[in-house]
Each structure stands twice: as C-alpha cells, then as structure tokens.
A and B are shown apart, each in its own frame.
Chain A
Amino acid sequence: MEWSVILNKLAEGMVVSIVIFVLTLLLSLPLGLIVAFGRMSRNFLLRNFIKLYISIMRGTPLMLQLMVVYFGPYYVFRIRLPNEYRFIAVIIGFVINYAAYFAEIYRGGIESMPVGQYEAAYILGYSKTQTFMRIILPQVIKRILPSITNETITLVKDTSLAQVISVSEMFTQARAIASREASVLPFFAAGVFYYIFNYIVAFAMEWFEKKLSYFR
C-alpha cells in the first residue's frame, strides 16, 4: 500500500479521534462542574451517590466502562440499539468518565478559595450566583488550569480506547493497516499523529494560561 493511502486512512481516523476529543471536552467540562457541586452538597444522599460514582469512574478501566455503556443496554435490558449507538456510547463513556475527574479538580479549586473572597462579595451585596460566576469561578479556573491541561492531554491518548467497541478512530485504523500490510510502521505514524495533536493541545493550553497571567 502507498504511503499516501496509509496517511489518508490515518487522517480519516484522526478526524474521528478529534471529534471524540472535542465532544468529550465540551460536554464533560460543564458536567464536571455540576458533579463537583453534587460532591460538595450538604445533602447526604446526593453527596454519597456522587462519591460512589466518582470512585467507580476512577477505580475501573475506561476501556471496561466503554464496553458497559455499549453492551449494557442489550445484555442487561435486552434493548437493541441502532448501529449509530456505537459512537454515542463512546461519547457517553468518555464524558461520564472525564466529568468525574474534572469534578474532583473543580472541587479542589473551589475548596482552595479563601473564605474572604466570599465574605467580601457577600458584604458588597452580590447574590450567591453572582459571587460564584463573577468572583470565584474565574479564580478557580486559573488555579486548576495546569491540572485540566494534564487531563486534556491524557484524553487525546485515551481516544484510542474507542477501538474496544470498534469505533474507527486513529488507532483502530493503524491496527487495520498494520495487520493488512504486516508492518509496524502505521503504528509509528499514528504515534507521530498523536504527538502532533498533543503538541497543539499543549500549545493552546499554554496560551490560555498566559492569557490568565494578568492577575495573581
């Protein structure tokens, strides 16, 4: 097979990887914040339910979680889902897994905020929502950005786990070509692709961190 064909196939896979990456981030970052609130809730049941959820998400392999989300509806409830569910299952699996990690990062950031910031806002008459959105959250984002960068870079590489339910992202493509050609080169090519992807991600995050360096 020609190199151009190989690269074409890998690029096709990369588009799928990028879509998984972007959708996961877009959905799990806000969901993580909501989960963090549940984790910090004064309601005993809610707080412990969220604790259990986070502990399962962090304590079991993401690969297994993807399988449960994909195969679960059929094997547990005998529900037959259309073929498109394969991709949806990947997104659901990634989002609930990453939301759990992000939630703990948010919680760490929120709990590290000095109480004086809340008190100053309270005295000035800000509502609770205004206090959180205007005063607390912008400072939390700056504090947690390095941890978010870490997770984001892990996510780029984790997209390769989608192969476990046969979603043809980049790694699935590389493996298919490699077995057809009896060569390991497609894997190395995929490795380079992942590296470039992450280089761009790291560059973007660094730019964002710099943008937030106007305050301390």
Chain B
Amino acid sequence: MALLQINNMRKSFADLEVIKDITLKVNKGEVVAIIGPSGSGKSTLLRCATLLERMDSGELIYLDKKAAYTDDSGKAVYAPQEILKQVRGYFGLVFQSFNLFPHFSVIKNVTDALVIVQKKSKEEAYSIGRELLAKMGLSDKENAYPYQLSGGQQQRVSIARALALNPHILFFDEPTSALDPELTGEILKVIRDLAAEHMTMVIVTHEMNFARDVADRVIFMDDGVIVEEGTADQVINHPKQERTKAFLNRFNN
C-alpha cells in the first residue's frame, strides 16, 4: 500500500529549476534513502513533500488524501487548509538542526503538540512521552532543557517529538549532518531500531554505509532528477549510471 505518492513534481527558485519532474512512491513499512551531491535537490524534494515548500506543479498524495494536484494550466493546486492540516498529521519530520523549542523542557518538547494539537490529556501525553524518552535512552533527561543536552541527545529528543504524534511516515533531513562525528552513531542506531519495527521512513543522508545497511530502496538524485533507483546493493554496490559511480567514487576517496 502506498503511503506517499509524488507524481511529476517540479520546483524552481526564481530561474533555477531545482526539481525536474520527479515521481516517487513510498510503500508502508519501506525505508527509502535519498542520496546525492549537495544542490541536487534532495532537501527541496523533502521540503516539498512535507509542505514546507510549495511545488510549482505535480501531484502529492498521502494515503487517501490528495494534498495537491496539477490543474489544466499546469500549476499545482493545493487542497484547502483543513485537508492540509489532516495531511500534516500523517507525517513527521526530523530536521538537520533539531529545531527543538528551547524554552520547553525535554518532556514538554515531546508532549506539547499531543496536548495542544491532538487534544490529549496531559496524563496521557506524558505517558506517551515518557515511553518514547525511555526508548531513546533519555528517561533521566525528562526535565532538562535543550541547551543542557549534547547534539545527539537533542536529535533523539526531536525524533521522540516526531514519533509522539504517531505519524505514518517519518522524514529525516540529514539527521546527522549537524552532529560531531562521534555522535552520529547514536542517531543511526535509533533509526536502525525504527527500521526493525517497520516504521516507514524517508531519509536524506550523506552516510553511505548507513544507507546501505538500513534502506530497502536507495534513490540517487543529481541536478533535480532521480538518476538511479533500486535496492541498496544495486545503487551503492553496483551502480549502473556514470553519475552515480562518479558520486560514490568521490565518497570513497
């Protein structure tokens, strides 16, 4: 079953075309890794998929809800706000720079949206939040504030925050890029654990080994198009396209 379907997405910033006709489907339980050089459009693709950026044309469908379609003039038309609000409830996003709320304690960061957006009781929200923090190995940090945590701990809080709302799909935008090298492991482990639980995830990453291990499908993007797509073994170990080979070579050296 497709949880996310993107059809013919196009996006330009001023004269620069960043996404050129991308079609992508994500099935339930799938882990998709998107790799590619910086400026290849992978972050923009993620931002369009999560409604942070509006595409110029194309179709965006989550489960049964059409968030956007292309009208006869070729322009993307977005669904009304009420629908988009429901659609936003279908996915979560983990940012490169965490974007935790600095004035909220760890537990409040994780539970506030449950109370404010999902209208759950504080007790229920806290029990969900505590369970997730335990899973992230952060039970003792519940009352700490973000500035008191390491980057890796902050990123784990932000993953807990995203999971608290029980999304169908979780997006990661280079979740380890802002971390010191010795801290990336703890985040990658959390994502591996989630993959083992068959959480549907789309991960933009520069960690090739990690992508190889965790992803069911790897997408290599360059210059706004999907150059190559397949299993991790196909794309990373045995790339067919020249551009993919060149990119991976640069990585290995």
Could you tell me which A residues sit within 8 Å of B by CB distance?
Answer: 114, 116-117, 119-126, 130, 134-135, 138-139, 142, 214-216
Contacts and interface: CB of A to CB of B under 8 A. Distances in A.
Interface of B, helix, strand, loop or mixed by DSSP: loop
A119 B99 contact: yes
A1 to B, nearest CB: 54
B161 A124 contact: yes
A117 to B, nearest CB: 6
Given A125-B113, A130-B116, A117 B101 contact: yes
B180 to A, nearest CB: 19
B102 A139 contact: yes
Given A130-B116, A215-B147, A123 B102 contact: no
B243 interface: no
Given A214-B145, A215-B147, A216-B147, A126 B117 contact: yes
Contacts of A120: 95, 99-101
A123 B50 contact: yes
B83 to A, nearest CB: 13
Contacts of A124: 113, 117, 161, 165
B165 A125 contact: yes
Given A124-B117, A125-B89, A142-B103, A119 B165 contact: no
Contacts of A138: 103
Contacts of B184: none
Interface residues of B, number: 28
A134 B91 CA distance: 22
Contact of B85 (A119, A121, A125, A135): A125
Interface string B49-84: 011100000000000000000000000000000000
Nearest to B118: A125
B36 interface: no
Contacts of B113: 124-126
B103 A116 contact: no
A124 B108 CA distance: 13
B88 interface: yes
B52 A126 contact: no
B6 interface: no
B97 interface: yes
**6 tightest A-B contacts by CB?**
A120-B99, A116-B99, A125-B117, A216-B147, A124-B113, A215-B103
B103 A139 contact: yes
Contacts of B117: 124-126, 130
Contacts of A142: 103
Contacts of A134: 112, 116
23 contacts: A114-B99, A117-B99, A119-B95, A119-B99, A120-B95, A122-B88, A123-B50, A123-B52, A123-B88, A123-B93, A123-B162, A124-B113, A124-B165, A125-B89, A126-B113, A130-B117, A139-B102, A139-B103, A142-B103, A215-B102, A216-B102, A216-B145, A216-B147
Contacts of B41: none
A119 B53 CA distance: 10
Instruction: With a 10 A CB-CB cut-off, give which of A122, A135, A142, A215 has the most chain B CB atoms.
Output: A215
A91 to B, nearest CB: 33
A121 B100 CA distance: 9
B224 interface: no
B116 to A, nearest CB: 6
A115 to B, nearest CB: 9
Given A124-B117, A125-B117, A134-B116, A119 B102 contact: no
A120 B91 CA distance: 12
A132 to B, nearest CB: 13
Nearest to B158: A120
